[in-house]
């Protein structure tokens, strides 16, 4: 129940801080990332050692992020991944349900990247790109 409350609180804070920008986060040990590398990573291209995490479909931060970084709308992104999957070119990144899970996933793997609302950034992760 407490967990549920904290999840609720987190999603509430995400709504409240809707004005803050989305940022790409990496492990605290990682260096900055260029916008074009981020675009490639989130479309399954470029350096294959990068482990990419996405927020789940329907999440507003996810849409905002893709608008800024890959330039794809929700519908375009879905069509893009169905094309990649059914031509054997790649699979969409793993998804996490919220910013807390995103931070935890990114913090635990030096090669991981993800994105969260700037307001959710804490010391466990590092902002590697402000698109």
Partner 1 sequence: MKFNLKALPIAISIAMAPSIALSDEAADAKIAKLEQQVQTLQSQQNASLADKVQFNGFISGAYISSDNDAGYNNADSSANFSEDSKLGFQGTFNITDRTQAVLQLMMRGKYDWEVEAEWAYLSHRFENGVKVRGGKLRVPLFMYSDYLDVGYAQPFARPPQEVYGTIPFSSYTGAGVSYDVDYDDSTLTMQAFGGESDVKNSAVKLTNLMGANVSWTDEVWTLRAVYAQAQLDGPVVDELEVELATNVNTDAKYTVLDIDDEKGSFVGIGASYDNGEMIAITEWTRSEIDAAYPDTDSGYLTLGYRIKEFTPYVTVAYMKTQDNDERLPVSQAAAIQMIAFNAERMAYSLGLRWDAIDNVAVKFDITYADDFGDTSGGFINNSMDTTTGQFTYDDTLIYTVKFDAVF
3-state SS, residue 48: coil
Helix, strand, coil share of the chain (percent; to 5): 45, 20, 35
Shortest Å distance, C-beta 108 to partner 1: 6
The residue (of 53 and 128) whose beta carbon lies closer to partner 1 is 53
C-alpha to C-alpha distance for 90 and 93, rounded to whole angstroms: 9
CA of 39: how far to CAs of 31, 53, 131, in Å?
16, 13, 10
Interface pick for partner 1 out of 16, 18, 21, 94 (rule CB under 8 A):
94
- Check residue 71 for interaction with partner 1 (CB under 8 A): yes
Interface pick for partner 1 out of 19, 29, 87, 123 (rule CB under 8 A):
87
Under a CB-based contact definition with an 8 Å cutoff, are residues 99 and 116 in contact? yes
Instruction: Return the residue matching tokens 């989130």.
Output: 42
Binding pattern for the stretch 21-60 against partner 1, x by CB under 8 A and - elsewhere: ---------------x--xx--x-xx-x--------xx--
Question: In sequence order, which residues have a C-beta less than 8 Å from that of residue 80 and are 6 or more positions away?
Answer: 43, 72
- Check residue 108 for interaction with partner 1 (CB under 8 A): yes
Task: Write out the residues near partner 1 by the rule CB under 8 A.
Answer: 2-3, 6, 36, 39-40, 43, 45-46, 48, 57-58, 70-73, 75-76, 78-80, 82-83, 85-88, 91, 94, 96, 100-101, 104-105, 108-109
């Amino acid at each position: 129940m407490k967990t549920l409350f904290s999840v609720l609180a987190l999603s509430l804070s995400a709504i409240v801080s809707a004005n803050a920008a989305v940022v790409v986060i990496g492990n605290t040990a990682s260096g900055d990332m260029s916008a074009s590398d981020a675009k490639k990573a989130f479309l399954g291209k470029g350096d294959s050692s990068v482990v990419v995490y996405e927020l789940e479909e329907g999440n507003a931060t996810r849409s905002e992020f893709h608008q800024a970084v890959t330039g794809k709308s929700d519908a375009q992104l879905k069509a893009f991944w169905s094309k990649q999957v059914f031509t054997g070119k790649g699979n969409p990144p793993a998804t996490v349900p919220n910013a807390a899970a995103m931070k935890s996933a990114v913090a635990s793997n030096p090669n991981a990247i993800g994105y969260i609302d700037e307001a959710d950034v804490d010391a466990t992760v590092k902002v590697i790109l402000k698109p």
